Amino acid sequence: MIVQPIDYVLVAWFALALVSTAYVAWDQFRNNPEPTVMRFAFILVTLYMGPLGLLIYVLADKEPRPGTHEQFTAPLWKQGVGSTIHCVAGDATGIILAAAVTAMFGLPMRIDLVVEYVAGFVCGLFVFQALFMRRIMGGSYWDNVRQTFLPELMSMNAMMAGMAPVMSFLMMGRDMRAMVPTELLFWGVMSLGVIVGFAAAYPVNVWMVERKLKHGLMTERAPGSRFDLAGAGPEGHGAEHGRHGSAQHDAGPSEHGGHAAGQHTVSPSEHGSHGGAGHHGMASDATIPQLVAVGSVTGLMLLVGLIVPGFYVNLSLSAADVGGAIMPRGMTMHFDTPAAAMREMAAILPRHIAYHAPRDARGDQPVEPRLDRGVKVFDLAAAVVRWHILDDVYVDAYTFNRQLPGPRLRLVQGDRVRINFRNALPESTTVHWHGLVVPNEMDGPANITQPPVPPGGTYVYEYTVEQAGTFFYHTHDHADRQQAFGLYGALIIEPRDRREPTADLDYTIQLQEWLKREWLTYPAMLMEGALPNYFTINGKAYPSTDVVRMRVGQTIKLRFIGSHNNFVHPMHVHGGPFEVVALDGVTLAPGARYLADTVNVGPGQRYDVIWPARRPGKWLVHCHIPHHTTNNNVETLGGGGLTMILDVR
């Protein structure tokens, strides 16, 4: 599924990889005179490395003209390519298979790397070297295992030294879909890891070919085959040139330090050598100090590649802990960042969206209860919704009843109320009735007064309303995440005695902060990488916020609700002061009321203010932090974010 811009790159990359692999497979078996083991090695490496594998094949191994393969592949750098290709084909296959299996079993990354190393070494040594090369090398299977152990160890160490940091840093980076084998990003990281591993292993393999410790590229012209240069017809064209190239090559050991032995022309009756000194006629001239030095360096490279990433990322985590989570760019993560923190910061994944609301959908819509023997009954359901905060900007949100904010619940002081709650989120949640006096088991804090409501679960809240004023309800299970995603709604309770200050109009303002980056919505928080870039009133950012129309002489009660999580928003009204008549659901006594033009609305706070329309015109209601009146740092039609208009005629 396309979730991030990188996914388009990966789709294109793997499409090219498949085309490249198909071409290499066709050309190897149709046109290239090479042993079968090397044909499959090039095919696998091209599958893993995509167009780079094709490039390497064309530049280093593909016979340019019939009969010229021996001469074309003779240079040492090409022989080193052949040796590395063989190493990568076996080792990378084992590593990739192990990575997929360990991810499915939920093993931590540090164990995963060890298992991958063992699997890569076993696959490279026991399968690709000792088994698949046995016809070329001659001797018994276990003789070949012994002879190829040291070259394979050094080559594997260098390759894993390149692959391990790539896997560690990218799989434990901000987009942890890279840990899940069912995600395209996992295979993208594997491909990049193989490319880096190839580059790390190549110099070691060049040295081993030069010292006749390993084979490089080989040519196979079996008698009677289409590549037999002694044959008649088109297949025999260039026979003299081919034999000349082979003769030149046979003289190579004195000129190239023996690397030409790795490019030996093989046939069923003639075998090259892959192993150590004296093995099947290929005597290595590597000295003991040289072997110790190269072996020590590749071993050190491996240790650095495995250990150093652990200083920066948490290798104790597994795909089961955080697999699939995507953190905001810029979030600071360390080797001790817990999985819970990563899950808390993760974006809403598009696959969880249950409903795409229309662009003109509005939240905070009043809902009428049904009566059950005198009890007012409401149904609330939490679900993931794609919601437009602007015509051209949407966020993915957690909502009650597919609204942002959730439906407005209107009650009268003394009502008995029952809320049937159902959770359709991908995580557990609860509902808290902010500021209300309720039985403790109805209060909502997860794991304290009630068990969290699991995905697909239900819970019934029932209590008698004892207070009157402006309140709200919101999640109380990982509220920093879920409330930031929109899980809140207004709860307006009328007094029985009607002594509450009234106005001609009544409007509720619920504030929120959003973080939308690269198509995904993250929970906005006051921490690294999580600061908001959009702000909304009742689920809309200006200029999509409501315009309230009034006449001169009318009054409006503005109910400010701090349904947001982070900032204190100084909410200001143009056109003259208002009267603050209630605070946190408590109506102020007449002598305690006061005039102001700005109130600082903090998270959880509520202010009821009454503003008179004194003059005609468009009067702003907005946050007095200018950044909060922009959309992604940009003003639109004179404002943005926490801005709305009182249009007085």
The pLDDT tens digits for 335-366 are 888 999 899 999 999 999 999 999 999 999 99
- Which position has the token pair 């000792």? 130
Tokens of 519: 């198509």
- Establish whether the linkage from the previous residue to 407 is cis, with ω within 30° of 0: no
Phi then psi dihedrals of residue 459, to 5 deg:
-155, 145
Q: Sort strands 375-390 and 393-400 into parallel, antiparallel or unpaired.
A: antiparallel
pTM reported for the whole predicted model: 0.84
**Which single residue is written with the structure tokens 């240790």?**
303
Residue type, 105: F
Name, in order, each residue with C-beta under 8 angstroms of 58's C-beta and a sequence gap of 6 or more: none
| Pair 317, 108: CB distance under 8 Å | yes
DSSP-derived secondary structure letter, 356: E
Distance CA 16, CA 9 (A): 11
Contacts of 544 (CB under 8 A, 6+ apart): 388, 389, 390, 391
Question: What contacts 182, CB < 8 A, 6 or more positions away?
Answer: none
pLDDT category at 234 given cuts 50, 70, 90 is very low
Tell me the pLDDT band of 195, cut-offs 50, 70 and 90: very high
Peptide bond just before 543 cis, omega within 30 deg: yes
Separation CA 627–CA 640 (nearest Å) = 9
Spatial distance between the Cα atoms of 276 and 285, rounded to a whole number of angstroms: 9
Report the DSSP beta bridge partners of residue 397. 385
Query: DSSP label at 103?
Result: H
C-alpha to C-alpha distance for 553 and 112, rounded to whole angstroms: 72
Check residue 26 and give its pLDDT.
96
Please name which of 377, 376, 424 lies closest in space to residue 400, comparing C-alpha atoms. 424
Residues counted in the chain: 649
Mean pLDDT throughout 594-599?
A: 97
Q: How far apart are CA 370 and CA 377, in angstroms?
A: 5
For residue 390, the surrounding DSSP H or E stretch is strand 375-390
Task: pLDDT band for 411, please (50, 70, 90 cuts).
Answer: very high
**Range of weakest confidence among 146-160, 241-255, 316-330, 488-502:** 241-255
pLDDT, tens only, 120-156:
999 888 887 767 676 666 677 787 788 889 999 999 9
Domain 356-648: which CATH number of 2.60.40.420, 3.40.50.300, 1.10.10.60, 2.60.200.30: 2.60.40.420
Q: pLDDT per residue over 25-83, tens digit each?
A: 999 999 999 998 899 999 999 999 999 999 999 999 999 999 999 999 999 999 999 99
**Residue 467 in contact with residue 436, Cβ under 8 Å?**
yes
pLDDT at 282: 62
Q: Does the pLDDT value for residue 281 go beyond 80?
A: no
The overall average pLDDT reported for the chain is 89
- What is the per-residue pLDDT for 134? 66
Share of the chain above pLDDT 90, in %: 77
DSSP string, 299-311: HHHHHHHHHGGGG
Q: Residue 260's pLDDT is what?
A: 40
**The dihedral of CA 213, 217, 219, 220: what is its sign?**
positive
CA distances from 51 to 17, 23, 115, 200, 306 (A): 6, 11, 29, 19, 28
Mark residue 70 as left, alpha or beta (left: phi above 0; alpha: psi -120 to 50; beta: remaining).
Answer: alpha
In which element (H, E) is residue 409 found?
A: strand 406-412
HSE, side-chain direction, 13 A CA sphere, residue 574:
16
Q: Are 536 and 389 contacting, i.e. CB atoms less than 8 angstroms apart?
A: yes
CA dihedral for 226, 230, 231, 234, sign (positive or negative): positive
User: Where do the CATH 2.60.40.420 domains begin and end in the chain?
Assistant: 356-648
pLDDT above 70 as % of the chain: 91
Residue range 522-533: mean pLDDT, rounded = 92
